[in-house]
Amino acid sequence: MAELKFQERNYIEKLFDMKSGYVMDFSNRTFREFVYDTVKIDIDEEKYYENGGSKANRLRTFFKLESKQTVGLLIQGLLDYWLTQIHIGEMDYDETDEKLHKECTKIAENLKSDSIVEDIDAIEPNTDDEDFEKLSEAIKECIRNNKPETGLDRLHTFVTKYIRELCKKHGIKIKKEMPLHSIFGMYIKYLTTNGYIES
């Protein structure tokens, strides 16, 4: 859940022209498409109508309900859209708007950098294998970018390799084609049999 401070909300609402219930020049249809394309969430879901059905009210509710990472990604997307509209001459701007854009960019960066997984650095290889290191970084990147569906398969590969390395270090013989649950079962059996843990 993203807890935006009063001043942060004020900056965002001013830049995106939310006072009248709108969000920049979006129609209901284009706003829904934009949010979905940016964060893969349907802004027309009933839960976002908690404080009213205007685009601005749904965006405010989105900020309250979604994670910091997701809110940061959407704000960044809206900032990029704002810049595009300025560049193609669809919106006017002045020096105040430029300052607001800089402040909103800081807000988005702070939200995105507040990792959705507190212990993300725990995803570290237990061997010096370069490919293992790249796999670890790829998983972290998926988590940081809020793409769990992409990272899940890689995480499974990572855990399998991680447990295989643990078995290797303890001299536990495993077959190449064994699935993760079987390997993990053998590792747990080794730990309990040798008194490392008690069930």
DSSP secondary structure letters along 84-107: HHHHTTSS---HHHHHHHHHHHHH
Q: For position 141, what pLDDT does the model report?
A: 80
Q: For position 173, what pLDDT does the model report?
A: 92
Q: For position 16, what pLDDT does the model report?
A: 95
What is the pLDDT tens value at each position of the chain, 199 positions in all? 677 899 999 999 999 999 999 999 999 999 999 999 999 999 999 999 999 999 999 999 999 999 888 999 999 999 999 999 999 988 888 889 999 999 999 999 999 876 555 567 678 898 888 888 899 888 888 876 667 778 888 899 999 999 999 999 999 999 989 999 999 999 999 999 988 887 5
Q: For position 195, what pLDDT does the model report?
A: 87
| Contact (CB, 8 A) for 171 and 191 | no
Residues 6 or more apart in contact with residue 196 via CB below 8 angstroms: 190
Find the farthest-apart pair of alpha carbons in the chain and give their distance in angstroms, rounded.
72
d(CA 46, CA 52): 10
Q: For position 148, what pLDDT does the model report?
A: 74
Q: For position 90, what pLDDT does the model report?
A: 87
Q: For position 30, what pLDDT does the model report?
A: 97
